[in-house]
Amino acid sequence: MATSSVETLEELVTCNICLNQYDEEIRKPKFLQCSHTICLECFQATRQEDTVTCPFCRQRTLKDNGDDEEWVLPNNQYALEILKLKRNGTDPMSSTVQLSEPAEEDVDEDVMMEVVAECFMVAFAQAVSSREMEEETLNEAYYQSLLDDHQEPEVMVAEPPAIPYIEPAGEEEEEEQLMMALALSCTEM
């Protein structure tokens, strides 16, 4: 696992075109507009006047600083910071390891239970709110479809079909009634 993390970090500080490690001068990591990163040297080699095509996704990056001759592309600061850590002999993964260690057991169980209960209440409230919004959207769509059907001249009849009354019931029964009402209105046409 540690080897793959080191390999991933090496990939983050290596230009995928020339396979050289970034630096802060000649091979400075530059973001293209598509968010891919290439070194400044490869950028200079691949650009064509006012555009450069990303070698990875083929998206064009346009020169956006007007008539100036010099391109203005942001540096990939993440790659530069990893390079600084490597240069200083600091393991870039050490801070991640420290953060992932388990916390001390000083947490009061009652406080923890209150927090868990509050999280469940928030999740429940969001689920109920989402359900209510879905029902409201379905009802609006149903009534709008009925209105649309009656506004077309060839559909107009002497007596428009009645909008079925949906009796308050449980959530599952409401869905069934709504689906039945939709089916009835479709067959009446």
| Claim: this prediction has a pTM higher than 0.85 | no
pLDDT tens per residue across span 99-120 = 444 455 555 677 667 666 666 6
Helix (H) or strand (E) holding 20: none
Q: Which of residues 170 and 49 earns the better pLDDT score?
A: 49
Domain 2-96 coded CATH 3.30.40.10: yes
Cα-trace Rg, the chain: 31
Which residues, at least 6 apart from 30, have a Cβ–Cβ distance to it below 8 Å?
A: 37, 38, 39, 40, 43, 73, 74, 75, 76
pLDDT for res 20: 92
Contact 17, 42 (CB under 8 A): yes
- Which residue ranges make up each domain of the chain? 2-96, 109-187
Residues 81 and 104: their CA atoms lie apart, in Å, by 31
Whether the per-residue pLDDT at 97 is higher than 50: the answer is no
Whether the per-residue pLDDT at 187 is higher than 60: the answer is no
Show the tokens assigned to 170.
């449980």
